[in-house]
A and B are shown apart, each in its own frame.
Chain A
Amino acid sequence: MDPSPETLLDLHRRMVRIRHFEEAAGRLAEQNRLPGFLHLYVGEEAVAAGVCANLDDDDQISSTHRGHGHLVAKGGDYSGMMAELMGKATGYCGGKGGSMHICDLDLGMLGANGIVGGGVPIAVGAGFANKYRGTDRVSVVFFGDGASNIGAFHEAANMAAALSLPVLFVCENNEYGEFTPRDRTMAITDVVDRAAGYGMPGAIVDGMDVVAVWEAAHEAVSRARRGEGPSFIEAKTYRFYNHHGVQTLGMKYRSDDELEQWKQRDPIELFEDRLASAGVLGADGAQAVHAAAEADIEAAIAFAEESPLPDPDSLLVDVYTPAVYSGAAS
Chain B
Amino acid sequence: MSRWMRLGLPVAAVVLALVFSGVVATLVLLFTGDDVVGFWRVLFTWPSERDLVDIINMTAILYLSGAAAAIGFRMNLFNIGVEGQYRLAGLFAGAFAAQGLLPGKLNVAAAILVAMAVGALWAGIAGVLRVWRGVSEVISTIMLNAIAGSLIGFLLVKWGESTGNARNTKMMPEDSWTGFFRLFPDVSDGAYHLSLLAPLVGIAFFILVYYTRFGFDLRAAGASESAAVSSGVSVKKMIVVSMLLSGAVAGLIGVPMMFSEAHQYGSAFQTGLGFTGIAVALLGRNHPMGIAFGALIFAFLGQQANLLNILAGVSPDIVNMTQGIIVLSVVIAFEVIRRLATRIEQRQVATQLDAERQGDTALKGASA
On whether the two chains bind one another, the answer is no
Question: What is B's interface to A at a CB cutoff of 8 Å?
Answer: none
Name A residues whose Cβ lies closer than 8 Å to a Cβ of B.
none
